[in-house]
Amino acid sequence: MKDSPKIELHLHLEGGAPPALIRGMAREKSVDLSGIFRPDGGYAYRDFWHFLSVYEAATSVLQTPEDYARLTTAVLEESAANGVVYCETFLSPDFCGGGDIGAWREYLTAIREAADAVERAHAITLRGIITCIRHFGPERARPIARCAADTAGDWLVGFGMAGDELKGQPGDFRWAFDCAREAGLRITVHAGEWGGAASVRAALDQLAPERIGHGVQAIEDPALVDRLAEDGIVLECCPGSNVVLGVFKDWPSHPIERLRARGVKVTVSTDDPPFFGITMASDYENLTRHFGWDDAIFADVNRTALDAAFCDPATKKIIAKRLGETQA
């Protein structure tokens, strides 16, 4: 499955950090991160909420634009090795630049330059989506949205929200989302990973995103499933992430195929692959093993992802060719 071309719309840049890279940077900077690693070298966490704090601890060693360039190179090379030809990554000026626009521009430049170099070598294209972090609160989201608006363009294409969806209401972040939308950014919101169908409804009603990060708990509410299908809302499903974190107890219980069968636009992504010990190729293998997905279904899902991608039409034409489509 490594060779088939894939599109990934939901990947947190820091969440793609190989543990060896973070361990090495911690050593270089004399930061003690021993508590976040298992004896076998992988990341150690007990549950989703502990995962969020381990994620933030790992991110603490990414302290300069050069660190983010190294991170981007490592993440994209791994994605390319899994057949990914186009990727949208979540970035947060909370983690790079501390919300300071001057610093954020330097980080953005470093990330873009690293991504351009990997694109020349491996034919994989990256675009960025700035996310505010829900559990950091709406006040913190304002400077993040300003960073997003000030750097919106051909590369920085979207604005979203990650973090703990059990904190606050999506509408608390309306100012930030209005600011981003006015700058031309496209919108995606994490919901329905842990907050149930009600959280998906709240995100749709209060922030009107065109894509939902996860969204899979919508399966609890048949009327909401119908609404997603009718309105063409795209779900950035991350089934391997959900199974490892325990949102669903195993692969057969995951609703991605039931949602697809009901006409919902589903796509496949890995979220934070080294944290979960997964890859795009392993998720594709599990989708085939547990739901019988074949080449035709994967082609369909990747076409849905390309249609839902936030990049411009010229870029989509290039990506369509990489998917092996004869006409874009």
- Judged by CB under 6 A, the residue of 88, 193, 236, 283 near ligand HPA is 193
Is 210 annotated in the active site? no
Beta strands 125-133 and 234-237, pairing class: unpaired
Q: Which of 193, 210, 230, 236 is catalytic?
A: 193
Q: Is 14 among the residues that bind Zn ion (CB under 5 A)?
A: no
Q: Write the CB contacts of 218 (distance below 8 Å, at least 6 apart in sequence).
A: 192, 197, 200, 224, 225, 228, 235, 259, 264
- Kindly state whether residue 144 participates in binding ligand HPA, applying the rule CB under 6 A: no
Radius of gyration of the chain (CA): 18
Q: CB of 118: closest distance to ligand HPA in angstroms?
A: 22
Residues 131, 94: Cα–Cα separation, whole Å? 9
Residues 215-274 that bind Zn ion (CB under 5 A): 271
Nearer to ligand HPA, 127 or 190 (CB): 190
Q: What is the DSSP code (8-state) at residue 271?
A: B
12 in Cβ contact with 272 (< 8 Å): yes
In the bound state with ligand HPA, the residue whose beta carbon lies nearer, of 214 and 265, is 214
Identify residue 274 by its one-letter amino acid code. Answer: P
- Out of 15, 16, 170, 195, the residue judged to bind ligand HPA by CB under 6 A: 15
Structure tokens at 61: 């060693």
- Residue 55, interface with ligand HPA (CB under 6 A)? yes
Q: Which of 83, 163, 239, 255 binds ligand HPA (CB under 6 A)?
A: 163
Asked if 67 touches ligand HPA (CB under 6 A), the answer is no
Q: How many residues bind to ligand HPA according to rule CB under 6 A?
A: 10
The token pair at 80 is 């390319």
d(CA 295, CA 266): 16
Residues with a catalytic annotation lie at 193
Q: Which residues bind ligand HPA (CB under 6 A)?
A: 12, 15, 55, 162-163, 190, 193, 241, 271-272
